[in-house]
Structure 1
Amino acid sequence: MTTRNGGDLVVETLQALGIKDVFGIPGQHALGLFDALSRSSLNFYSSRVENNAAFAADGYARATGNPAALFLSTGPGALTSLAGLQEAYATGVPMIVVSSQIPAAGLGARRKGMLHQLDEQTESVRNVTKYQATVQQAAAIPSVLEDACREAMTAPQGPVWVEVPQDILLESQDTAHGLPAITAATTAAEINQPEAHHALVSRAAELINANSTVIVAGGGVRRSGAGELLVQLAEKIDAPVVCTVGGNTALPLDHPLAVHFIEDRHVTDLMDSAETLLVLGSSLGEVTSNYFTMKPTGTIIQVDAESKVLSSNHPSLGIRADISTFLAQLLPAVDTATHAGADKAAEVNTKVAERMSELGLEHEQQVMDAIREAVPDDMQAYWDMTIAAYWAWNVWDAKDGEFHSAQGAGGLGYGFPAALGGALGLGKRTFALAGDGSSLYSTSELAAAVQHDIPVTWLIVDDGGYGILREYMNEAFGKATATELARPDFVKLAESFGVPAFRAEKETLQEVLSQALDAESGPNVVVLETHLKMWELT
């Protein structure tokens, strides 16, 4: 047996790149890679489904700002991860995916019938990753991984894919031609983010100085860590700030310039009537535009690290740049102004509150209030695609923590495995919420949570089916089809994994959830059986 192989080159390079933690599942073609893990300082966390491993790596990166690695096996293992990678790609979350491949001699479909063989495996991941490479020689492993890491961490960030054939992972490096251990590489912290052209910054400043401005803060603000710069700009130019779903928590909800409830006609009207609409890290997509009913009458300045986003939905002064970098360039160029921004925000917030009070949704608001009161101010929260999450998009005040949801691609099963990754990255408890339908995508990860003693509190809101689809179908067709689900007793299911689990009613939810969140270690589950309704869109 060799003591050092191609797999060691992979883990040594990842360590040099600053990677500390790895998620994934072993597989036959990847055994050399996993064997090398035993000789490294990397921490490995074994998921039960590859898609959930991708969600865990996503949650880790969102919580820490640093990428994790995701180790996958060939064919079925690789393909099972795709929905998780789609979420990371759509939301701009970095991760380094290392997948195995069949032996190099079989690449290009020259040898048929190999276990797990997938013709053109990289083509299967091209739509959900920023970068794809197949290593042809062990000597290329360090440079390919370094290039991949640079791509992952350069805005717009995202997952990158490197696949290494089985024989190259097993190839001995204990030879005269073997590469020495890799001890230095360009880490994420050393990567320079794209700047805006100075002429475009000057033009943006002219437009902002000439008129009052409304700011739209999208996911790019959060991904680039631009929250403090956003506050400085908003206060300097006295501009109301509308946070999109991805931008939720970019500006604290209690800030005088914060506009609440992105999915409301009054908020859309504010953006429509803005003399200058400064859009930071958002495509002005479906939810932000109130389902494409938004019709801005002023000048739009759209800044995004992804050039494909610029003017994709509305004509704009398009500026490609990392949001933090752009705001640092813009701030000295704009004048201090007074435009009654806080009054405008307060007026919109009052109108939204008045409309919501007339909809008979006290139950939903009470449930959300109970969750908010129970979750500690500094705790990071992960929300699956469920009605409670749709409410949270609009009303959740993350205070000193952060808000994470699967709104990028909208797939089910995100919340719990992502929260596991976040808890591992932070070294402290996180909160996850899912519906009964979405929770069944990830209940297998209760085993991983127990195995690794991961401190996550998981609230399952059980309404007997796919609640949001039930609402949509009833509204569109007067009846719902195929939305009702047989499901387990979630308390007993969790207990069968050795996970403490508790039932709650609306009246006891805050108390029960608070106690679960106070647990010193390990996972636990709270189950709330209730129906939540959506508000009427206008």
Structure 2
Amino acid sequence: MITCGEYLVKQLEAYGIETIFGIPGVHTIELYRGLPQTTLKHITPRHEQGAGFMADGYARVKGKPAACFIITGPGMTNILTAMGQAYADSIPMLVISSVNERATLGMKQGRLHELYSQKDVVSGVCEFSHTVLDPCELPEILAKAFTVFNSERPRPVHIEIPTDVITKLVDMPIYTSSRLYRPEVSQEALEDVTEHLASAKNPYLLVGGGAINADTDELVKIAESFDMPVLYTVNGKGVFPPDHPLAIGSYQTTEIVREEILKADVVLAIGTELGETDYDVAFNGEFKLSAKVIRVDIDPEQLHSNFLSTIGIVSDAKSFIHGLATYLTTQKMPVKFSTQSAGVTKVRSIKERLATAFPKEWDVQYQVLKILQENAPNMVFVGDSTQIVYSGNFLFETNQTRKWFNSATGYGTLGYGLPAAIGAKIANPEQPVVSLMGDGGIQFSLPELATAVEEKLGLIVLLWNNFGYQEIKRSMINHGIPTIGVDIYTPDFITIAKGFGCETIEITSMDQLQSAVLVAQKSDVPVIIQLDEAKLYEEIQ
């Protein structure tokens, strides 16, 4: 006989969970009793929000979820923002929390960490929340959680266990997960899609983060078969070769691309919500489609979200791309693409116009990103909501998926970049990782530097310091609003970072940045590279 808490960690191990992010508390200590008898690695963040962001970054790089052990009440309210970001971006995350004893639930007795209904508080930022009232429920509810992760649209799942259930003795077998298969496209649908694309005069291909696991060559085959210009979202970067003649990039929200795509007669949208943070960052509703829309998504609710579909296909994006590419091969469809085809000519024209469409400051920010990429070719870029990330979401390119992600999409939180980068580095310690942070955003999660030092994680924290919330200040000025609350006090980050045990480098030129990146990769603790924005702009001018 073992306790329910001991059974839980054994079951997590059986499901392939390798890492747990958590802060032990008086209500969760029994979850830790059985950890030494497993291979699970425990990481202690300095705030539950950091735990959630770490699990998010971990999952994006690893391609599989981590677990979070979270205390009742304040621990759960602390992690809600991180769960919201993961929910918006379809990131798997298993959040396991304690909750007060069964007999006290909903009684409003003022007990420690008490929430009237913790499950109701959490339910808006997870696929489902379940209260385990008896240990015998665990095998079934964990199986349902991993079904969400492995065969549906992946999102956070919350499981809460009352403190008196965690300690109950159990004698149950460890369940080995079943093989799960995602929905695949039918032959009839492939024929319908092919017929529409083959007869189109001006088709476009839109690819989102849902296609992150797709075969690049198969996606290229589809685009070339129908001579389709390709746009990919921020989370879809790397799924289509950026140097391909049909690749436009992530420029959906520019007026130039909006004008062109409005002329499309058929649009194939795979694994994308067609949502605001990828298609309408100006928030003016000007991304419009007059075309027939073919939508492919694993989530049926997305088939008519934002734009109604002419053809809606519930399918895993990878399976659909494989199925369509195979069908085109067996049908020996003629390839419309050539170096002088209509699609290629269109893309060339769009890119020529885009070359002069962006602010001068973006040149500096792009150069910074290129120096990082060129001096650490396998680097993972993990961004916060900050200026260099906003421009990078347009300009940055990569030939691999899972190399560029940030919190400027979806939920749009601040403080994400540092803890998510820690999670990314834990997921793959051999890969170089950079956290792109602004001086405002890093103050949300600065204590997580202690976690990175404790775990000996040699990641780079690129601090884009412009001494305040400059992006919001600019927006206030543009709207004629007094600039209140944006010119905030900026602490001495170098001294603070040294106090945490980090290494630090201050940069005022591009040459210094290049050498700093090379030096930083040799460290086994975080290296804070602080950039003086104003001096970099002066150098370029």
Please give the TM-score of this superposition, normalised by the length of structure 2: 0.91
1:490 maps to: 493
Q: Give the match for residue 136 of structure 1.
A: 133
Q: C-alpha offsets along residues 301-348 of structure 1, whole Å, 9 cap, x if unaligned?
A: 122222222222222222222211211222234433315222221111
What does 1:313-352 correspond to in 2, within 5 Å?
A: 313-316=306-309, 317-334=311-328, 335-338=333-336, 340=341, 341-352=343-354
* Residue type of the alignment partner of 1:384: D
- How far off is 1:273 after superposition? 1.2
In structure 1, what is the equivalent of residue 95 of structure 2? 97
Contact between 1:221 and 1:250, CA under 8 Å: does it hold in 2? yes
AA matched with 1:444: P
Tell whether the 8 Å contact from 2:130 to 2:158 is kept in structure 1 after alignment: yes
Query: Structure 1 stretches of 5 or more lacking a match?
Result: 534-538
Which residue of 1 is the match for residue 404 of structure 2? 403
Match of 2:517 among 495, 501, 514: 514
Residue 311 of structure 1: aligned partner: 304
Conserved in 1, the CA contact under 8 Å of 2:216 and 2:241? no
**Corresponding residue of 1:536:** none
Residue 151 in 1 paired to residue 148 in 2? yes
Give the Cα separation in 1 of the matches to 2:509 and 2:211: 35
Question: Could you say which residue in structure 2 is the equivalent of 1:200?
Answer: 189
Q: Which residue of 1 aligns with 2:290?
A: 297
Conserved in 2, the CA contact under 8 Å of 1:29 and 1:74?
yes
Deviation of 1:532 after TM superposition, in Å, equals 11
The 3 A distance-change label for structure 1 pair 398 and 532 is: farther
Inter-partner Cα distance in structure 2 for 1:229 and 1:467: 42
Establish whether residue 161 from structure 1 lines up as the match of residue 158 from structure 2: yes
Once residues 183 and 309 of structure 1 are traced to their aligned partners in structure 2, the CA distance between those partners, rounded to angstroms, is: 33
Partner of 1:456: 459
* Deviation for aligned residue 1:400: 4.1
Q: Deviations over 1:268-310 (max 9, x none)?
A: 1222111211111222222443342122222111222222222
The aligned amino acid for 2:162 is P
Identity of aligned residues (%): 28
5 Å-filtered alignment, 1:466-505, equals 466-477=469-480, 479-505=482-508
- Is residue 412 from structure 1 mapped to residue 401 from structure 2 by the alignment? no
Shift in CA distance, 346/479, structure 1 to aligned 2, threshold 3 Å: farther
SS in 1 for 2:236: coil
Query: What SS class does the counterpart of residue 487 from structure 1 fall into?
Result: coil
Give the distance between the partners of 2:512 and 2:261, measured in 1 at CA: 37
State whether structure 2 residue 439 is matched by structure 1 residue 440.
no
16-25 vs 239-248, which moves further: 239-248
Tell me the distance in 1 between the aligned counterparts of 2:534 and 2:235: 25
Q: CA deviation at 1:382?
A: 0.3
Indicate the SS of the match to 1:27. Answer: coil
Question: What does residue 171 of structure 1 align with?
Answer: 168
SS at match of 1:157: coil
Which amino acid in structure 1 is aligned with residue 436 of structure 2? Answer: L
- CA distance in 2 between partners of 1:532 and 1:86 (Å): 36
Alpha-carbon spacing, 1:11–1:203, altered in 2? closer, same or farther (3 Å) = same
Counterpart residue identity of residue 524, structure 1: V
Q: 1:253 to 1:509 in 2, by over 3 A?
A: farther
- Does 1:118 find its partner at 2:115? yes
Q: How do 1:5-404 residues align onto structure 2 when only pairs under 5 Å count?
A: 5-107=3-105, 109-110=106-107, 112-173=109-170, 178-180=171-173, 182=174, 184-186=176-178, 190-211=179-200, 212-222=202-212, 224-260=213-249, 261-290=251-280, 291=283, 292-316=285-309, 317-334=311-328, 335-338=333-336, 340=341, 341-356=343-358, 359=359, 361=360, 363-375=361-373, 376-400=376-400, 402-404=403-405
How far 1:152 sits from its partner (Å)?
2.4
Give the Cα separation in 2 of the matches to 1:366 and 1:12.
50
Mean CA deviation greater in 315-324 or 79-88 = 315-324
Cα distance between partner residues in 2 of 1:417 and 1:394: 23
Instruction: Judge which range, 478-487 or 452-461, deviates more.
Output: 478-487
Give the residue type in structure 2 aligned to 1:162.
I
Instruction: Measure how far apart 1:468 and its partner are.
Output: 1.4
Q: How big is the shift at 1:60?
A: 0.5
* d(CA) in 1 for partners of 2:71, 2:36: 17
> 1:322 corresponds to which letter in structure 2?
D
Query: How many residues are matched?
Result: 518
Change (3 A) 1:228 1:58: farther
* 1:113-138 residue CA offsets vs partner (Å, 9 max, x unmatched): 21001122111111110122111111
Whether contact under 8 Å (2:458, 2:521) holds in the other structure is no
284 and 18 in structure 1: CA distance in 2 versus 1, 3 angstrom threshold: same
The offset of 1:364, in angstroms, is 3.0
Deviations along 1:9-66, one digit per CA (max 9) or x if unpaired, are 1111111111111112112111110222233210011101111110100101100111
Rounded to whole Å, the distance in 1 between the matches of 2:242 and 2:209 is: 16
On the 8 A contact 2:151/2:181 being kept in 1, the answer is yes
Change (3 A) 1:497 1:520: closer
SS of aligned partner of 2:440: helix
Instruction: Show CA shifts across 1:147-200 (max 9, x none).
Output: 111112223111111111111111234xxxx224x16223xxx32112234433
Contact kept, 8 Å, 1:516 with 1:524, in 2: the verdict is: no
> Letter of the aligned partner of 2:392 in structure 1?
A
Distance (Å, rounded) in 2 between the aligned partners of 1:29 and 1:485: 38
Can you give the 5+ residue segments of structure 2 that lack an aligned partner in the other structure? 537-541
Q: Secondary structure at the match of 1:354?
A: coil
Alpha-carbon distance change, 418 to 226 in structure 1, aligned in 2, over 3 angstroms = farther
Shift in Å, 1:377: 1.9
One-letter identity of the residue aligned with 1:403: W
Secondary structure of the residue that 2:95 maps to in structure 1? strand
